[in-house]
Amino acid sequence: DGGITQSPKYLFRKEGQNVTLSCEQNLNHDAMYWYRQDPGQGLRLIYYSQIVNDFQKGDIAEGYSVSREKKESFPLTVTSAQKNPTAFYLCASSKWTGGNKDYEQYFGPGTRLTVT
Amino acid sequence: DAKTTQPPSMDCAEGRAANLPCNHSTISGNEYVYWYRQIHSQGPQYIIHGLKNNETNEMASLIITEDRKSSTLILPHATLRDTAVYYCIVRVVGTGNQFYFGTGTSLTVIP
């Protein structure tokens, strides 16, 4: 069964602690993305990666870090420097050929992070 | 990527067609129109996309006006499970970067 998994679904942390959110895909997609969603808002891009060992900042990368050591995995670390970390975090992946064909993104089920 | 404008909310009777409009008056020639939907507390789900021709798949139809300044997503026979937020996104082809999701249209299907 192909798809994207994110774990855990709910995560609770104390302020000042770093926390890592997991994202794994078995779709053989090259590109992976992390978005953040706040209540009643659209999605905002945190980081994306088009290829292993390479990633780019999105619109709101401050206070976050990522790694892309394997094609299937793109973990996101929410650091203590992130001022408002409580949010719904969504991971996505897509094919990427670098050419003139565009592909849809497939999303995981999300992780709801609460920091108190 | 061009900006889109959608009504914040709509209702539709169960079994009827749901027609969701989207304005993208500044769209350029190499931008696709994408539609996603998000059911509460889940990840967005891809529905359909197109460049200039109308498109249809098992979920929906996408009608793009000839000048490409607007489009309509049609769910032919809405069910209660179609209640969700629907996002219209335009995106430059082949950039490989993010989709810009706005606040979308909250569709409520009424029994």
Strands B61-64 and B55-56: antiparallel
- CB of A104 within 8 Å of a chain B CB? The answer is yes
**pLDDT > 90 in chain A, percent:** 69
Looking at chain B, which residue has its C-alpha nearest residue A41?
Answer: B103
Give the count of Cβ contacts less than 8 A between chain A and B.
60
The helix (run of H) or strand (run of E) holding residue A61 is none
pLDDT of residue B97: 59
pLDDT digits (tens, 9 = 90+) for A50-97: 889 999 998 899 999 999 999 999 999 999 989 899 999 999 998 866
Contacts 24+ apart (CB under 8 A), A67-73: A68/A32, A71/A28, A71/A29, A71/A30, A72/A24, A72/A25, A72/A26, A73/A22, A73/A23, A73/A24, A73/A25
| Nearest-neighbour CA in chain A from B33: distance (Å) | 11
Q: Taking 60 as the threshold, does the pLDDT of residue A7 lie above it?
A: yes
Maximal C-alpha separation, chain B:
41
- CB of A2 within 8 Å of a chain B CB? The answer is no
Looking at chain A, which residue has its C-alpha nearest residue B42?
Answer: A109
Burial B13-28 (b: 16+ CB within 10 A, else e): eeeeebebebbbeebe
Single-letter amino acid code for the residue at A86: T
Mutation target among B89, B99, B105, B106 for the A interface, most CBs of A within 10 A? B99
Q: Taking 80 as the threshold, does the pLDDT of residue B52 lie above it?
A: yes
Taking an 8 Å cut-off on Cβ atoms, the answer to whether A88 and B41 are in contact is yes
Collect all residues from B whose CB is shorter than 8 A from any CB in A. Answer: 32, 34, 41-46, 49, 87, 91, 93-104
Taking an 8 Å cut-off on Cβ atoms, the answer to whether B41 and A112 are in contact is yes
pLDDT digits (tens, 9 = 90+) for A15-46: 999 999 999 999 999 899 999 999 888 888 89
